Amino acid sequence: MIEFFNEYMIVLIALLLCVIMSIIRVIIGPTIPDRVVGVDTINTIVIVGMVIFGAAYEEVIYVDVAIVYALLSFISTLFIAKYLEGGEF
Amino acid sequence: MIFDIIIYIFLGIGVFFNALAGVGLLRFPDVYTRLHAGTKCTTFGSIFIIGSVILIGLKSWLFSNDTNGSVLAIHSAFALIAILLTNPVGAHAIARAAHKSGVMPAQAVIDELQDKPTEKKTGQKTSSKTAFSKKEGEL
């Protein structure tokens, strides 16, 4: 049985602080690309957190979720960027 | 054990660079420098953190004959490849969209991308190549 609080939880708490700093930028960002940059950073940190969860609980399925999340966040970032350019789709 | 020491060092380096990304995202003055901090530092930190997870999987595969370890290592490597392929492309798209939607860098006076890229001025090599140089009197 794996205990709930092992040493990878310290890494996860540090990553949570990084996510909180990015959320502050998303809230107070002056322009729209600032917020998009914050959301992109949050996406990358969440992918890393999912991989750390997979290593901490020894569940491989979390890492598969991280792969799918990476590809979907990439597509959403490209879509928002295309929308900001104002071009036709 | 030498594997544990390497794993903890990699975790420390990765967390440090992710924290640098957060601080840079808060402290830098405009969109392009924030993008520089938020993308490069998270990519570099992700390489080290997922590399440590790969080492965890390899350790449990080699030393205790656990086949879940090899699956964990290979799938983490695929996640790392996905991050490495998609993160710079997304950052490039955001920077291009920010420039096209009219966001200028802080303290910039010359915008070299404003002209059409088709009209080339090949003959003259002027001093306008110093993009984003500071205006001396007015700042």
What digits encode the pLDDT tens for the residues B77-128?
A: 999 999 999 999 999 999 989 888 888 887 877 777 776 555 455 554 444 4
The answer, yes or no, to whether residue B138 has pLDDT greater than 60, is no
Asked if A56 has any chain B CB less than 8 Å from its own CB, the reply is no
Does A60 sit within 8 Å of B71, measured CB to CB? yes
Nearest CB neighbour to A71, from listed B57, B71, B86: B86
Please, are residues A37 and B31 in contact by the beta-carbon 8 Å criterion?
A: yes
**How far apart (Å, rounded) are the C-alpha atoms in residues B58 and B65?**
10
A1 band by pLDDT with thresholds 50, 70 and 90 = very low
A48 band by pLDDT with thresholds 50, 70 and 90 = very high
A43: alpha, beta or left, given left = phi > 0 and alpha = psi -120 to 50? Answer: alpha
Mutation target for A interface from B33, B60, B83: give the one with most A CBs within 10 A.
B83
Report the complex ipTM: 0.87
Please, are residues B51 and B80 in contact by the beta-carbon 8 Å criterion?
A: yes
Given the structure tokens 């420390």, which residue do they identify? B12
Mutation target for A interface from B25, B41, B78: give the one with most A CBs within 10 A.
B25
Indicate the pTM of the whole model.
0.83
Nearest CB neighbour to A31, from listed B18, B90, B103: B103
Q: pLDDT digits over A32-45, tens only?
A: 899 999 999 999 99
A64 vs A86: which has the higher pLDDT: A64
Q: How many CB pairs under 8 A join A and B?
A: 152
Other beta carbons within 10 Å of A31: 15
What are the residue boundaries of the structural domains of chain A, listed by start? Answer: 8-85
The answer, yes or no, to whether residue A49 has pLDDT greater than 90, is yes
**How far apart (Å, rounded) are the C-alpha atoms in residues B101 and A86?**
8
Asked if A26 has any chain B CB less than 8 Å from its own CB, the reply is no
Residues on chain A touching B19 (C-beta within 8 angstroms): 14, 17-18
Please, are residues B88 and A73 in contact by the beta-carbon 8 Å criterion?
A: no
A89 band by pLDDT with thresholds 50, 70 and 90 = low
Q: pLDDT digits over B24-67, tens only?
A: 999 998 899 999 998 999 999 999 999 999 999 999 888 888 88
